[in-house]
Every structure is written in structure tokens, then in C-alpha cells.
Chains A and B, each alone.
Chain A
Amino acid sequence: MAYLDNSATTRTDNQVVRVMVDVMNNIYGNPASLHGLGAKAERLVTQAREATARTLGVSPGEIVFTSGGTEGNNTAIKGVAFQYRDRGRHLITTQVEHPSVYGVCKQLEEWGWRVTYLPVDAHGRVRPADVEKAVTDETVLVTVMHVNNEVGTIQPIAEIGALLKRHPKVLFHVDAVQAFGKVDVRPKEWGVDLMTLSGHKFHGPKGVGCLYVREGVSLAPLLTGGGQEGGLRSGTHNVPGIAGFAKAALLAKERQPEAVRRWARWKASLIEQVMSRVEGARVNGDPSPEGSAPHIVSFSFPGLRSEVIVHALEEENVFVSSKSACSSKGEKPSRILLAMGLDPAAAVGSIRISMGYHTTEEEVERCAQALCKVVPRLQKIMT
């Protein structure tokens, strides 16, 4: 079998599982309890927080554990919008964000905020100058993803951060869910105020992630209650999840340099085989190795429907995604690909292949062969 849907989710790493099992068996106290068992769990969470902070180059006090990417993005965007609603009600984002950002923006629009959705170029990249041009006195937040989940394009986060330094009242949020462990992530250096991570994208457990909140940034919390996580995220700590998350983050940091080299090689080979052997195939996003995350490849096969390709590949024991897993059940062509200027036929016939730390060369090879076999066959039937 070839599992190449790692941007949807990854297999939990054995080392992470072992940590979590150990924690569930032995460190079951509630970190908020006063007694020794609670204190022990609290110290574990503290150490997990320190480990996580190290991987991002930030302070432990700047890490808020969440239930994952969607919660992180909601907390960041709504948190800023609500906190600064009297300062201004304008947000800036792009047309290619993940639904957990895009949907929040749409919701805020219903509630009276104004949102600018910046266009992207044919590679799916927003222009930093456009971001700055869109800033008004009313703007409280700019939110831009780091690596696009459908095509892998890397956004110019450092440049946007540098431009926004001239607008100290505008906060900068980055959805780095697809970036961490795959490309370098430097929130401090880049002037990022808020950054979302999710554990299960890098072989950690599902249902746990973290939000980096730069010291000095205030947010209105979405979940209020017992005051956990500095009052930013009430709710009993997911202690085994948090421990597993921190472990996965450390492993990702350690594995990234080596994995990146492998992925880049395999990605190039996959593209080369498909482009030379499948008529009409195109690569979506930025084709250059610098402009695109090394673990994601997006192909379009105009005339075909992505769902059909996914199922045909599944028959070959190759597991890939139509667009992002969260939206693949919808009928409509990908909003992201349309924003990049693809015509609807190409946007409908796109698939995403995504690698993880466990991916092997054989899997990628198998996928290349399956694509070269399946797609021409389907093309014959459909045309």
C-alpha cells in the first residue's frame, strides 16, 4: 500500500504512541488538581510546553495548547477580532486559505466585520505589497497561511511580516499547519504574532495542536471556564495528547532536514514521470523547489473528476486526496485552484499527493506507476 495523503493526516509515530500510552497509564492526574498527582501532570504539561517552545524558538509562556488547527485558527482570528472590536473591524486574508480561516472570515462578515480577500498569482502566491496596500486604520489582523494545503505553495511570510512592522497595530497570524516540520518556521524572526500548528500533520495525535501567541498580544478567549492555558483556553488539559504533540514536534524538528532532501528528490521524480507519460497533465502551484513545500504535489488532469481518480488509485492501493480532505466531499471545483486562475475543468480534475516522514521511495514509485496507468485509461473512457 502507498499512503500518500499525509497532508490530510499522518500515521501516529510509534514513539509518540509509546509516550501517550505511558502517560495515560501513569500520569492521569488533572494538572489543575492541588495534590501531588495533579502537580505531576502539571509538570509534564510544563515540560511539553518547554519542548514545544524550543522547536519554534519562542518562550514557553507563548504556547497555548489547543485541539488542533481549526481551533487554533478560530482562537487567533476571532480572538483578535473580539478583543479589538472597538479599535477596528477590518481583517485581511487571501483567497486561498484553509476553510478554518476562510470560514471564520465569512462568519465574521456576517457579524459585521469587513474582510479583504487578497487575490493570488498563478502559483497561488499573494503579493506582499498587496497586503500592505489593503491595510487601513480599521485593520486589526492580517491572516495568511504559510504553506497552501492543496498545492504546497509557500507564502512570503517573512516579507509580509517585515512590511507589517510599519503597522504596529495590525496583528499578523499565520496558519502554519502544513508548514511545520516541512519548511523552516521562524515566528520571532518574521514578526509573526500568532501561529497555528496541528499535531496530526506531523505524526502526532489527532485532536491536539498549539497556538503561538507572542508575549504582549491579548486575545478574547473562545472557551471560557476554569482558566487553563492562561485563561486563553479553558478545559481540562489533554495531557496525553499534549505530551504526544510535544514528542511529535521534537521528532519533526529532528527529521525535517533529512526528510526534506528525500521528498524533494521523490517529488521531482514523480513530476517527471507523470508529465512525460500522461497527456494533458499539469502541476498546480509553484513548480520551483524554493517556492513550494517539498512534501506536496498537486496535479490536474483536465476532463477527469478528481473523485474518480482517487477511487481508481485506491483500487491500485494508492491513497491520495482530491483537494483538501475537509472539502473533498463537496461537488464544486476547488476554490483555491480557481483563485489561481485554473479553468473549472482543470480545477475539478485535480489530486493532491502528500508525503510524510514514514513515506518510502517505493510508495512514491508505486504512485507514479499507478497514475501513469490509471489516468490514460480514464481519459480514454471519458473522452
Chain B
Amino acid sequence: MGYDVLLIRYGELALKGKNRSDFEDRLLRNIRNKLKDFPDVKVKKTYGRMLVELNGQAYPPVVERLQEVFGVVGVSPAKRVPTELQALQQAAVALIREQPTQPATFKIAAKRSIKSFPHKSMELNHLIGGYVLKNVDGIKVDVHQPEITVHVEVRAEAAYVYGDDIPGPGGLPVGASGRVALLLSGGIDSPVAGYLALKRGAELQAIHFHSYPFTSERAKQKVIDLAQILTRYGGKIRLHVVPFTEIQTQIRQKCEESYSVTVMRRMMFRIAERIAHKEKALALVTGENLGQVASQTLESMYTINHVIRMPVLRPVVGMDKQEIMNIAKRIGTYETSILPYEDCCTVFLPKSPKTRPDLNATERTESNLDVERLVQEAVDATEVLDLSPDKREEEFTFF
């Protein structure tokens, strides 16, 4: 008999009042956006969760999309039946029979939200459970660790019967937490950092520093591809590509070599902060880790962070490389990240970079640069690309 609706459970139940309805509205909008390729599917808000009316659409591709919507904690494909005992019993048996592998044990978890229904929840458990035992060969009840829990919900408009839910990505709906600007390199960490910021409900813009001809067009394309992958989770993403060649050249000519990486990062932060202001983003997000590479020491972070006043979120700071790689693989950025194109961070890598840069020494050597002019010129010449999940910018129209 298949499934009629998807019940979407969402989390952060601690949210109250206005926050809660903002959260729900945002989630509803994000889900609708995500499912707009399915013309028959309708999404609505009911008390405490979302309801996706399938209207004949097969559920697996819909669930697949929902698993990319932050805020969704779980999805249950459900059968909608009339509020009659017999219909509930038959639906429970059908649900068990349709499982890909026949479960050996089950339990019924019934609840009713209308008191007019003649059977109480406990009684429903017995009546439906007994019917299942009679009609499914070899199955047993196990109330502690059942292989499947059959949920039965009796509501005013209809009753729903569904099995264990399919986990969603959790988190908060994108847009619920305001806007951030991600420093996106071509590496493994920064796309993951962006993903994690999205997971906490932030709307994402991305900033990339491009040093043509020291870095190639392929390196830029790679970053566009990475941002494009993130649109699956984040919806529209604006990518700022900052021309960085002039600054790198000047640093090389005028600053002490061992401090070049520190000065370069400070310039990046200044530019990023200025772009963030322009775009009304309230924080920067980076893929920085602690101690993973020589330049990511606390001293280095301190010295670099010193030039801006905006909060810098570092979602992967507590993770091991392997954990970051696992997320990158799961969200689909890994394969692109490992493409071997040089990025601007590696172009002028000094022979022995200062791993514990001193703030005063940094400021001294940096004073040889016309910082304000360089920053403003870079911001002014920044190229803006608007990426969206459904409008992949196709260079070729062959396929």
C-alpha cells in the first residue's frame, strides 16, 4: 500500500515563543525550497512537526533531499488511515510486511490525541499488537529492544502508522542564526567548517583569495565547485573572489620572509571583515585547527586575529584530521578538495615560517605595507558569484 506522508521531526525543542515560530517558519521555507522539484509534493506545518504530503511521489528521493535540510532530526514515512481500529491493525501488519528484511521482534507504540477515540493508548497497543501476532508468521513482541517499533498516532483528522524514523542531519534551519562569511580555500577543512556553520543555522557567504597567475584558473574553479556543493545544504551562496596577487607580491618584496604567512593571513582577515560588513555578516568562519600545521598555533591565531573586531568561528578547532576528513567525505566535498591545485597559501611559502609569531615584530614588518590602500583595492576589485542549488552554472549545454 506504500506511504502517504512523511512526518518530519525537528529538534531544539527548548526554543520558545517567537523564536520557536521563527524557527518553524524558516524550516518550512527551507523544506519547501528543497522539495520544489517534486511538483506533487506539499509541505505543511502541523503542531510540533512538519507533514510532507507525497501525493503519489515515491518517498526515497524525497527523504534523500530532506537529509540535507538542517533542522530535520528524523523523517518517518507513514501510512495515513481512517481513525478506525481495523484500519490501524491492517496498516500495522502491512508496515511490518513491507520492511526490506522481516523483523523478528516488534512493539506497538500508540498514542491518541483525541479523547473521543474509543480505545486508550495502552489498549491500542494490545489490540494492534495482538492482531500483528496473529497475522505475521513467527514474529514476537519485545518491548525493550524491538527490531521495529510500530508507531500509531490517532489524531482528529486521521491516524498515522509508521516505523522507526530515518535520521536527518539535525541542527538548526539555515538562516535562523543570521549570516556569516566563510574563508574558503581549496582544502579539506574550510568546506567542512562552512558545513558546520550552516548546521548551526547560519546563512553562508564565502570568500576566496585568488592569486592569478600564481594560482591557476583550475584552483578557482575548484573553489566554485566546493561552494556549489555547499549550496545543497545552504541554499544560495554568494562567493567573493578576492584578487590577492598584488598583496602577495608586496608582502614578498617588503616584509620579512619568515613573517610572510602571518602578514598574509592578517591581510585576508582585514579584507574578509570588510566584505562581511558590506554583506551584513556578523562573524567570520574559518577551517583553522589548533596545532594541525605550524601556522595554526595559538600565538599565530592571536597575532592574526588581532587585526579585526569581528568574532571568528572555528568549527573544526576541536577535531582531528580524520574526523574532518570523514565529514568531508560524507558531505561530498572531499573528492574536490583533494584535487592537487596550488592555493594562495602555498604559493610563497617561506623556507622557515615563524610558528610562534610575535605581535610586535609582525606589526613592525607589516608597517612597510600601505595596508589600507591594499585592502580597499582588493575589496573593490572583488568578483562576486551567486551560486544556487538548482542553477548550476553550466559552461557547456551539451548534456
Contacts and interface: CB of A to CB of B under 8 A. Distances in A.
Interface of A: 19, 22-23, 34, 36, 39-40, 42-44, 47-48, 50-51, 61, 243, 246-247, 250
21 contacts: A23-B398, A36-B217, A39-B217, A39-B218, A39-B221, A43-B221, A43-B395, A43-B396, A44-B395, A47-B394, A47-B395, A47-B396, A47-B398, A47-B399, A48-B399, A50-B399, A61-B335, A243-B398, A246-B398, A247-B398, A247-B399
Contacts, number: 33
Contacts of B217: 36, 39
Interface of chain B, main secondary structure:
loop
B232 to A, nearest CB: 15
B355 interface: no
B388 to A, nearest CB: 18
B216 interface: yes
A314 to B, nearest CB: 36
Interface in B359-399: 394-396, 398-399
A171 B209 CA distance: 45
B396 A39 contact: no
Given A39-B221, A61-B335, A44 B216 contact: no
Pick from B218, B221, B395, B398 the residue with the most CB of A within 10 Å.
Answer: B398
A44 B221 CA distance: 13
B399 A250 contact: yes
Interface in B209-225: 216-218, 221
A286 B218 CA distance: 52
Contact of A22 (B216, B335, B398): B398
Contacts of B399: 47-48, 50-51, 246-247, 250
Interface of B: 216-218, 221, 335, 394-396, 398-399
Contacts of A22: 398
A131 to B, nearest CB: 25
A23 B216 CA distance: 23
Contacts of B221: 39, 43
A144 B399 CA distance: 31
A44 B218 contact: no
A22 B399 CA distance: 13
B216 to A, nearest CB: 7
Nearest to B225: A46
Contacts of B335: 61
B216 A19 contact: no
A36 B396 CA distance: 15
A40 B399 CA distance: 15
B348 to A, nearest CB: 19
Contacts of B395: 40, 43-44, 47
A250 B216 CA distance: 32
Nearest to A44: B396
A50 B392 CA distance: 13
Contacts of B394: 47
A42 B218 contact: yes
A153 B30 CA distance: 49
A50 B336 CA distance: 13
A39 B398 contact: no
A23 B396 CA distance: 10
A381 B312 CA distance: 92
B168 to A, nearest CB: 23
A36 B212 CA distance: 12
Nearest to A40: B395
Given A44-B396, A61-B335, A247-B399, 11 more contacts: A39-B216, A39-B217, A39-B218, A40-B395, A44-B395, A47-B394, A47-B398, A47-B399, A48-B398, A48-B399, A247-B398
A50 B229 CA distance: 14
A118 B394 CA distance: 48
B242 to A, nearest CB: 20
B392 to A, nearest CB: 10
Nearest to B394: A47
Nearest to B398: A19
A48 B394 CA distance: 12
Contacts of A48: 398-399
A34 B216 contact: yes
A61 B216 CA distance: 23
A44 B399 CA distance: 10
Pick from A34, A47, A48, A250 the residue with the most CB of B within 10 Å.
Answer: A47
B215 to A, nearest CB: 12
A315 B274 CA distance: 79
A34 B217 CA distance: 9
Nearest to A246: B399
The 5 A-B pairs with the shortest beta carbon distances in the complex, nearest first, are A51-B399, A19-B398, A39-B217, A39-B218, A36-B217
Nearest to A42: B218
A19 B398 CA distance: 6
Contacts of B398: 19, 22-23, 44, 47-48, 243, 246-247
B290 to A, nearest CB: 32
A39 B341 CA distance: 12
Contacts of B216: 34, 39
Nearest to A20: B398
Contacts of A61: 335
B58 to A, nearest CB: 15
A374 to B, nearest CB: 43
A378 B176 CA distance: 81
A348 B327 CA distance: 60
B311 to A, nearest CB: 37
B123 to A, nearest CB: 43
A321 to B, nearest CB: 32
A129 B216 CA distance: 55
A36 B219 CA distance: 12
A48 B218 CA distance: 17
A44 B217 CA distance: 15
A47 B216 CA distance: 19
Contacts of A42: 218
A53 to B, nearest CB: 11
Contacts of A34: 216
A50 B335 CA distance: 13
B17 to A, nearest CB: 45
B2 to A, nearest CB: 20
A19 B396 CA distance: 10
A246 B396 CA distance: 13
A247 B399 CA distance: 6
